[in-house]
Amino acid sequence: MKSFWVIILAAALAIPLFGAEPNKVERNDLLKDEAWLREYDQYVPDGVLLESLKNKISGTLKIVVYFGFWCSDSGNNVPKVLKILDNLPAPGLKADFFSLERKANKDQKYYVEGMKIERIPTIIFFRDGREIGRIVESPKIEMLEDILTIVF
């Protein structure tokens, strides 16, 4: 019985060290928040850049987005990514969205240890199963332009 309690205590103590598991979020659930929907509606991606991106997608391109509904950078940038994807019909393109909780404590370095997610949102691009680039927190120039830079 003593070993049972040791295991329970060890498990309880380990949870804050590694953070909560990411929760997969469906596309429709991303825009339930009015502020996120407003950001989505107001963002108009450049048509020429969209066409250029569509022509540059080769192989299997996968995008994985880690974000927090509570995070202002996520609220500013994830709806833009979604709008770009909604205007980019490409058969080889797949996107997954994962919601994260706040870090358990200030000593926790990563939200997702295995993916080295230190700040959010983190938008990771994979081509044919290999990571080709990331956008962390905010784009360097503009979301669509940064995506084009990564995909080229």
Residue 61 has what pLDDT?
87
Structure confidence by residue, pLDDT tens digits, 86-124? 998 777 688 999 999 988 888 888 889 889 999 999 999
Classify strands 61-67 and 23-25 as parallel, antiparallel or unpaired. unpaired
d(C-alpha 39, C-alpha 83), whole Å = 9
Judging by beta carbons within 10 Å of its beta carbon (0-12, 13-18, 19+), is residue 137 exposed, middle or buried? middle
Structure confidence by residue, pLDDT tens digits, 1-30? 554 443 433 343 333 334 557 899 998 899
d(C-alpha 112, C-alpha 44), whole Å = 31
Cis peptide leading into residue 121 (ω within 30°): yes
Residue 13 has what pLDDT?
37
Neighbours of 99 (CB within 10 A): 21
Residue 21 has what pLDDT?
75
Neighbours of 110 (CB within 10 A): 14
**Mean pLDDT of the region 71-76:** 96
Domains along the chain? 21-151 (3.40.30.10)
Judging by beta carbons within 10 Å of its beta carbon (0-12, 13-18, 19+), is residue 96 exposed, middle or buried? middle
